Structure 1
Amino acid sequence: MAILFGYLLLCFLVSAGFFIVFRASRSRRLRLPPGGLGLPFVGETLQLIAAYKTENPEPFIDERVNRYGPIFTTHVFGEPTVFSTDPETNRFILQNEGKLFEGSYPGSISNLLGKHSLVLMKGSLHKRMHSLTMSFGNSTIIRDHLLVDIDRLVRFTMDSWTDRILLMEEAKKITFDLTVKQLMSYDPGEWTESLRKEYVLVIEGFFSIPLPIFSPTYRRAIKARTKVAEALSLVVRQRRAKYEAGERKNDMLGALLAGEDNFSDEQIVDFLLALLVAGYETTSTIMTLAVKFLTETPLALAQLKEEHDGIRAKKSEAEALQWSDYKSMPFTQCVVNETLRVANIISGVFRRASTDIHIKGYTIPKGWKVFASFRAVHLDHEHFKDARSFNPWRWQNNSGAGSPGYVFTPFGGGTRLCPGYELARVMLSVFLHHMVTRFSWVPTEEDKLVFFPTTRTQKRYPIKVQRRDIFSQIKSKTRDQS
């Protein structure tokens, strides 16, 4: 046994030696970006994951940028990868989607979303479907149709709040209910809540090993994905029958059924499933973190309350927000921008080089992955003064904000710009309006941010809420002033 172990160890060391020599030779020949690929086969994946499981993942990139510069080579998730923390290079990557770069996602995500999801579509089909998705979240649609649903669903969820809540869970209910309404015209109920619980399991499997036999998390995610697909398939079949009978609905499913592409039920299910994930996870996290950052910045919270108390004072207690109200929230938009910048729900995007690419004096070999890091740019002191502090005032009159425009990319860019970016901003603004005008709150315990496998708070941000009688406060303030 000892001889066998020694033989295996010798083979490993020889293989590792050849790997290191070959790697160094290839690097010199191609002029790869500088960097270190870490251990053979494992690379630097463990260091990356360990950093992102903490509240401060910056040192992983900071140390390499200080040593190698804003573009460096590493080896993560089984592949050599070029990291870019340079906004110009990130812009080049985003703008050349489908030309020099193509989307690349871990197998676990691809399998769980489905082969017909928007994130995996390419070419003209992706262009058509991306445009269709954006058409259901543009300012006109939000103003004329969705704003009333957003206001109603936020109120509906907040009406049930008593004493202590987990804010992230409550925010997820709001975003999921709105997305289901937008996609399939379903109002909140037992069916939507049951579907949401299965979605939680699907998302947990995104960054697991895509082998059910080795990963219980992935195994649970696959089972949950099957349940979600079955539930959505039933909805699609029922709606298709009604559509063929002449019944029409103005939602995403209705547009897919009426389209010229003649999508199969499987294609529609994959498409809807992925959009539900996108609308559910990211926006709810932004809502939670906005409240967390404001709570930790009392002056900003006070100014936000003043802005929204002024809006609510002109309306009755039950009156819904109008588009003109949304447009009269200048400081709220500063808070939204700063939350997006500091939180970095999408920390960056992976792409794969379709050919050898020459940029900034380096070569990215064909087939290599690249990672355009938005987080590194947003938290760079060269672009934003005191970049790692929450400071919504930096956005007033555009002072202190990064320039040029492509420095701030919370929703990505290029042909894969997040199609729901405008809807997310409106949802967050409406949520904050009702949060600050209806409640005061205090965290019940310390809660830290982590960024792997997704950005979230460790304890789902538990808070104790107390209802505000804003109209009595306004009357009292008016009497005092007079």
Structure 2
Amino acid sequence: MALGVWSPSLIDVVLFVIAAVVVWKLERRRRRGWATGRLPPGSEGLPVVGETLQLIAAYKSENPEPFIDERVRRHGRLFTTHVFGERTVFSADPEFNRMVLGAEDRTVEGSYPSSLSTLLGTHSLVVMKGARHKRMHSLTLARLTSPTAIREAKLLLHIDRLVRRTLDSWASSSLVLLLDEAKKITFELTVKQLVSYDQRKWIESLRREYLLLINGFFSIPFPSFLSFTTYGRALKARRKVEEALKEVIRKRKLEKATTRFDVDVNESQNNKKKKDMLEELLEGEAEGMTDEAVVDFLLSLLVAGYETTSTIMTLAVKFLTDHPRALAQLREEQEGIRKKKKDEEAALDWDEYKSMPFTQCVINETLRVVNIIGGVFRRAKTELHFKGYTIPMGCKVFLSFRAVHLDNEYFDDARTFDPWRWQKNAAAQQVGGPTVYTPFGGGSRLCPGYELARVVISVFLHYLVTRFNWEEAEKDRLVFFPTTRTLKSYPINVRRREEEEGA
């Protein structure tokens, strides 16, 4: 009995040790092949694991910055380390970051941990490369997230209604878990954009599985039969999400086939506007795409639209709470917009959204301090040469946007929340431009949803500050790993402003 219980564990240990030795030997062989170039200085830590444990330990602490700070101090803004099983050149140099971001598909390509690639799928926007990625990236931007799409597809109206409906539900409870509420908004909005599905129970059921899927992104990719691990649970959740989306695809195809049969003579039917991304795919881009490929693509957009925007919404409120002067100025701006409306119940329009300059300063600063995209991985397709260093073909590089955004050389008192700094140099810091400010990445992989994210956050802040007062119900801990700086739930006590003023 004892042997039967223990032998699988012993086998696992032996296999792990053998695999570690093989990987270490292969890595040593590859290093010898790289010896001709002069890599940036650094330390690769322990065999096989390198400095991965130090990186994870830092990002599970209250202050993860020292992992990069200490190495920049010792080696400079470009240094070599060894994380997640590979030698990696880390960059805290905005000039190098711009060079690499602009070289996508020529001298570098996207490269992400296998756990993330497997969970998102080989046809996801994150994993796509080359011409295919450019085409699907452009489609996403044009169809869902460009200013034109937001205005003409009545998306702003839908955002307004969704935010107000969510905030109206707070009337029955003074305690609000803000991050959870923000995630409900962004998830429902993204599902609506992708598949026009608005059944609340179905959406919430999908969201629960999706949360398990996200937890597996940066976990250890154990074999799938180990279903009790974080990665195993994520794989199981991925299958459930895939099944749910495939059922939507099946029903949509059936509807389209029926519609074509019934109204084939109606020419206007062929010219009607596509209402969501799935419709766009089924009528054009999805020709030759399997249902599995369509699911992968939709899933990657669901990831992009859900986690990031809700985190920024929550942390913007956190920073405003901690900085009353900023909150007062933002509230004054939003009250001015509200008072100018002929009908206070009318939805915000595009002109009103564009008349929120200080609100945009708050969003800019939240993005800079939070670093929702802390950095990106790339792999060199050819030798990269920079300031006397040679980064060999096949080497992985990590472009740290966080390190640049929090560097005092580029931003005065960089680790302090100061939205007024954007009133001084907003023109010089254009998203996606040749600057040191890259909250949404850059190059051909610039996040296509950057304008949509700003719209959602702006609408949310408008109704929050004009309708409610609040204070923290309890202190919440900042969490930095595995994705970015966020809060566990950020509980706040809310009170309607008109009730307080009336009292």
2:232 corresponding residue in structure 1:
219
2:314 is matched by which residue type in structure 1?
T
2:147 corresponding residue in structure 1:
139
1:300 equivalenced with 2:326 (yes/no): yes
Name the CA distance, whole Å, in 2 between partners of 1:21 and 1:119.
30
Q: How does 1:393-408 map to 2 (within 5 A)?
A: 393-398=420-425, 405-408=434-437
Q: SS of the residue aligned with 1:387?
A: coil
2:446 is matched by which residue type in structure 1?
L
Name the CA distance, whole Å, in 1 between partners of 2:459 and 2:298.
25
Q: For 1:359-410, what per-residue CA distance to the aligned partner results, in whole angstroms no more than 9, with x for missing partners?
A: 2211111111100000000000000000000000000042697698420000
1:82 is matched by which residue type in structure 2?
V
Q: How does 1:102-117 map to 2 (within 5 A)?
A: 102-117=109-124
Name the CA distance, whole Å, in 2 between partners of 1:444 and 1:142.
35
Q: Can you give the 5+ residue segments of structure 1 that lack an aligned partner in the other structure?
A: 1-10, 477-482
Q: SS of the residue aligned with 2:217?
A: coil
| TM-score, length of structure 2 as denominator length | 0.87
1:184 corresponding residue in structure 2:
195
Cα RMSD of the aligned pairs, angstroms, is 2.5
Contact (CA 8 Å) 1:179, 1:280: kept in 2 or not? yes
Q: CA deviation at 1:216?
A: 1.2
In structure 2, which of residues 62, 65, 77 is the aligned counterpart of residue 70 of structure 1? 77
Of residues 247-256 and 68-77 in structure 1, the stretch that sits farther from structure 2 once superposed is 247-256
In structure 1, which of residues 270, 285, 288 is the aligned counterpart of residue 314 of structure 2? 288
Change in CA separation of 1:380 and 1:402 when aligned onto 2, cut-off 3 Å: farther
Name the CA distance, whole Å, in 2 between partners of 1:330 and 1:372.
30
2:167 corresponding residue in structure 1:
158
Contact (CA 8 Å) 1:384, 1:400: kept in 2 or not? no
Q: How does 1:33-432 map to 2 (within 5 A)?
A: 33-135=40-142, 136-144=144-152, 145-161=154-170, 162-187=173-198, 189-211=200-222, 212-213=224-225, 216-244=229-257, 245-246=259-260, 249-262=274-287, 263-315=289-341, 316-398=343-425, 405-432=434-461
Of residues 21-30 and 253-262 in structure 1, the stretch that sits farther from structure 2 once superposed is 21-30
Q: CA deviation at 1:448?
A: 2.3
Q: SS of the residue aligned with 2:355?
A: coil
Q: CA deviation at 1:118?
A: 0.7
Change in CA separation of 1:353 and 1:25 when aligned onto 2, cut-off 3 Å: closer
1:299 is matched by which residue type in structure 2?
R
Change in CA separation of 1:72 and 1:444 when aligned onto 2, cut-off 3 Å: same
1:148 is matched by which residue type in structure 2?
L
Change in CA separation of 1:139 and 1:337 when aligned onto 2, cut-off 3 Å: same
Q: For 1:99-141, what per-residue CA distance to the aligned partner results, in whole angstroms no more than 9, with x for missing partners?
A: 1111111111111101110111111111110000001211111
Q: CA deviation at 1:438?
A: 1.1
Name the CA distance, whole Å, in 2 between partners of 1:392 and 1:453.
27
Contact (CA 8 Å) 1:101, 1:354: kept in 2 or not? yes
2:233 is matched by which residue type in structure 1?
R
Identity of aligned residues (%): 65
2:71 is matched by which residue type in structure 1?
R
Name the CA distance, whole Å, in 2 between partners of 1:210 and 1:216.
9
1:370 is matched by which residue type in structure 2?
V
Q: SS of the residue aligned with 2:126?
A: helix
Q: CA deviation at 1:187?
A: 2.2
Q: CA deviation at 1:418?
A: 0.4
Contact (CA 8 Å) 1:243, 1:257: kept in 2 or not? no
Q: SS of the residue aligned with 1:72?
A: strand
Name the CA distance, whole Å, in 1 between partners of 2:461 and 2:98.
31
Name the CA distance, whole Å, in 2 between partners of 1:242 and 1:465.
44
Q: CA deviation at 1:24?
A: 9.0
1:197 is matched by which residue type in structure 2?
R
Q: SS of the residue aligned with 1:363?
A: strand
Q: SS of the residue aligned with 1:225?
A: helix
Q: For 1:135-168, what per-residue CA distance to the aligned partner results, in whole angstroms no more than 9, with x for missing partners?
A: 1211111123210011011111111112111110
Aligned length: 462
Q: For 1:220-265, what per-residue CA distance to the aligned partner results, in whole angstroms no more than 9, with x for missing partners?
A: 1111111100000010111112223337642111100011550221
Contact (CA 8 Å) 1:103, 1:351: kept in 2 or not? yes
1:4 corresponding residue in structure 2:
none
1:350 is matched by which residue type in structure 2?
F
Q: SS of the residue aligned with 1:463?
A: strand
Change in CA separation of 1:437 and 1:77 when aligned onto 2, cut-off 3 Å: same
Q: CA deviation at 1:317?
A: 3.6
Q: CA deviation at 1:314?
A: 2.2
| TM-score, length of structure 1 as denominator length | 0.91
Q: CA deviation at 1:348?
A: 0.2
Q: Can you give the 5+ residue segments of structure 2 that lack an aligned partner in the other structure?
A: 1-17, 261-268
Q: CA deviation at 1:469?
A: 1.4
